[in-house]
Structure 1
């Protein structure tokens, strides 16, 4: 396994879990949130993990993982786009939930979440780690390839996508090609594959069965969450 330098922006349930697990694997991880590094006390004492400001998290790294709510992307993009290296791989774990994020016209108009993020950053993005609940990301990784949960990876083909596949594999999940980023709407909230912890073959079949004609239904499924804070509290409870 090649050790990489990884910046994680967002220390919530997904971002914090990824940062901790990647550091344990031996990667050099820099973790930032929207506040000062001193607020990330729960991550103190983890080998290979350093807490930093967001701008420092993207400097001199191989991969940047953005794990923040969609409502924060505009401001974050304005800060990061000018300093992101063109050689840095960018992963977006985000999901659009209007009940939390407010209405974002581009996303309501059908632009896939991560395509929108890519447009704001002005660079290619890979969507992954968005369609698994944080407790399952924390607990279900396994080296046993015959008993793995599949995770969709959407984004441009090439060496960078292979690197993202390798990262998913190192975390104990089976990467499943979700096609180009424009197809990432198939793994957004409310779709058949979303947070179902499917095996790789079932995940791919579910991805294929996700069709544009049913987008309104997927949005209705997504919008069944009416108290997002309560949902987060319940997810945090399951992390133990």
Structure 2
């Protein structure tokens, strides 16, 4: 499959490596130009290109960039062939993005769809970079981590599920974009590395009112811990364990 990826942060870079290693033809761009793409991202054949070239002659485009930047890609997104699957991995963190939503209970993926002017699949937003970089079987899980996705077009979701399976994870169809609030930050299914058997209950326990408050508590705790990470060296699953504690239902 021909895949274009915009973004070389933790999630984007990991997807470049994993999808290339799985045999897909991958093009990758960042905001600084193709000459700045790190060599280790290209070891399995990924090609560094401009952001415009990412959108050319592809079956799938993955946008792995901050939510506030997504509107800049509206023209390119709207120019895609209707058959191309557009995947968004972003989450809204007001302290980074500013206030993008009118209300804290607004659905992030709906804002993204409106900003890009075409249907999307929300995927890879509810798994942390360390877990995504692994083999899908962390020590604390009883099976493969399941990555939840949402979207309005069944064919788009089927393609996304196939890609998730290709890189060694289970995938869970969590419904339409209107249900994507259940996998936003602060909810029990967000970055808690659950299996297919565990995800349905976590999604059912989602709470739109509590989630933004819990999200912000997590950010404050993470910032305090990570500012001296050189000394404390938190374990890879630290964020997962904190998310499980904070986001658990009352």
Question: If the length of structure 2 is used for normalisation, what is the TM-score?
Answer: 0.83
Matched pairs, number = 228
Q: Does 1:59 align with 2:83?
A: no
Among candidates 143, 147, 150, match of residue 154 of structure 1: 150
Ranges in structure 2 where 5+ consecutive residues have no aligned partner:
238-250
> How far 1:157 moved relative to its partner?
4.2
Aligned match of 1:223? 216
> How far 1:82 moved relative to its partner?
4.2
Distance 1:111 1:155, change over 3 A: same
For residues 117-140 of structure 1, give each alpha carbon's deviation from its aligned partner in whole angstroms, at most 9, with x where no partner exists. 111111110011111100100103
Aligned-CA RMSD value:
2.5
Aligned match of 2:106? 111
CA contact (8 A) 1:59 1:85 kept: no
> Helix, strand or coil for the counterpart of 1:153?
strand
Q: Distance in 2 between matches of 1:232 and 1:184?
A: 31
Distance 1:232 1:31, change over 3 A: farther
Aligned match of 1:83? 79
> How far 1:201 moved relative to its partner?
1.4
Aligned match of 1:163? 159
> Helix, strand or coil for the counterpart of 2:214?
helix
Q: Distance in 2 between matches of 1:229 and 1:11?
A: 25
CA contact (8 A) 1:99 1:228 kept: no
Distance 1:45 1:172, change over 3 A: closer
Among candidates 1, 6, 20, match of residue 3 of structure 2: 6
> How far 1:233 moved relative to its partner?
9.9
Q: Does 1:130 align with 2:122?
A: no
> How far 1:229 moved relative to its partner?
11
Q: Does 1:120 align with 2:115?
A: yes
Q: Does 1:205 align with 2:198?
A: no
CA contact (8 A) 2:182 2:203 kept: yes
> How far 1:85 moved relative to its partner?
2.0
Q: Distance in 2 between matches of 1:233 and 1:115?
A: 36
> Helix, strand or coil for the counterpart of 2:210?
helix
Among candidates 32, 36, 39, match of residue 39 of structure 1: 36
Question: If the length of structure 1 is used for normalisation, what is the TM-score?
Answer: 0.86
Ranges in structure 1 where 5+ consecutive residues have no aligned partner:
none
Among candidates 20, 45, 49, match of residue 46 of structure 2: 49
> Helix, strand or coil for the counterpart of 2:185?
coil
> Helix, strand or coil for the counterpart of 2:47?
strand
> How far 1:161 moved relative to its partner?
1.4
CA contact (8 A) 1:100 1:228 kept: no
> How far 1:231 moved relative to its partner?
5.4
Aligned match of 1:22? 19
Q: Distance in 1 between matches of 2:80 and 2:197?
A: 35
